Structure 1
């Protein structure tokens, strides 16, 4: 039973003894007349439940910690109770086995023995796993006071603020980090990601440009190229070509896709089709490339060709809602409303927020 929830209608028999052996009817009358009695009863019952639950939890924890694979580390901890490394080893092992509540006690002990940056980050991750973001934030602030130059601490605090919906605090955190270390490409990247999530695309582009300028890498370059492509900025071609020249991490297909998307959105269909075909030849399961290729055929009013490509997209990725949606569009334009309805419904079943598919259903059902 939860220590914070007690049901007075399920009082055990010993309660009557606690209340002076009063008969049940008399007890009910007393409870109606005096507010303090039910308050005391509920409080006492909650305390009893808490004690029982706490005892059971301690017994269960001791049993787990004294059986393999934790028993050896537990014995060592008993012999060397000030050894931080032993607590960390057991905490990591417990975490690997999804015993995060038990691991939390070991991370806390390791932190108390010797606070350091590595332990702080591990402890913070554990606190988030057990849904204690407030404690994680407090620990990160305490850690940043000790190690203000640690980028991982800054990043983690910003991430947690974002996860908990405190976007203003997250932005303030990234701004503070940037003031301390303006030449750290990560701070600008993280800030750019947050700004993109907040739909402030111009500011996101500025942050990503700064990140890429400081340290041109594949992942921040790809993020910047995506923002350029979304805003039809021709700079996407330049940065994609740079990424292609130095590609060593297998991002080439994503870069080709971005270039193709830009050419498609700017009606340069021949260049776009060439790039989407290259994507598919490199990875025949690249569903997005099929879909973009099909959209080009659709825009060119080549509905039969578009339908064949969308059907292939649904074949290689049958959980892609866009594939089914565009198949439905083609069937609707061919006057095949029954097939259109089936495919609109498939798209909506995969993505419940697919408003265009929902509108398509309403349209063909009229």
Structure 2
């Protein structure tokens, strides 16, 4: 019996020994680690991404003259920045009376960019020697809006962009009210609208109607056609404003309320001018229609203008499309539609060569606005 008890105790004493050995090893290792680690200090720097490389050394011109000039900027970062140049004379009263500087939004892609600008002097300006100060106002890079459904590649680039903007404006929307030229023409061209316009060719309006509707459908919307602005927009997830002569200043508060309730809005072409002034022809600038400040709060831009050249994207895969950064999305043929002086929270999507804005997004309260200057529907 005693031999059995001894044999049972042997493994037990071994287990105690192993436990003690392990404990000693851990203590020793812990002591070693405490002496081995030392604190490190590593320099950390976030560098200024934009550097001005070249600019005019001076300006010298006579009253009544305009001068075009360039400022060269190097973007050392790997992302695109959006920038405004603010020009100020050291005599603000003189500037207010006699000197006008360009007011452009620029897209600064990685690498070297030459920014075109201009200034003009009033014919009544007295002789003076002053100093121009140039300030840079940078916008933080904003990631591309959320992806949209894939679009048929038979759609032109500008239509793909329009469809992506529509889906961004109403991410979960199903219904789209399309206030279009053709339906507006049919309702008015033989009655009170005989002297409006001149109206666009019927074939052109048909192409717009067909292609924009197809674009909206590919974006996942059920399209409802109309030529008028209804008194209540709340029945629709998205409202697309195309028929500019259907738009009047009285509709601006209606859109503001619609956006406040979470609605989505798409505006293209010269429509913004008609929210600003009452006009039934193509020249609202005669009545101050280029000043959009009365509804800038919800629209997102202060001024409308006509421009020239090509329009290029400034972000990669806008709205989840396959459109690439710097890709031409519209080729201008003459006097093209654009806006400038965007709100702080607006995001530029595409720019004209002149630096004015071809397309942008803006969020107001619970709603979203997408603007695009032109569309090309193909042959």
TM range (shorter): under 0.3
Normalising to structure 1: TM-score of the pair?
0.21
More helix by share: 1
Q: Which structure carries more relative contact order (alpha carbon 8 Å, separation 6+)?
A: 2
More strand by share: 2
Normalising to structure 2: TM-score of the pair?
0.21
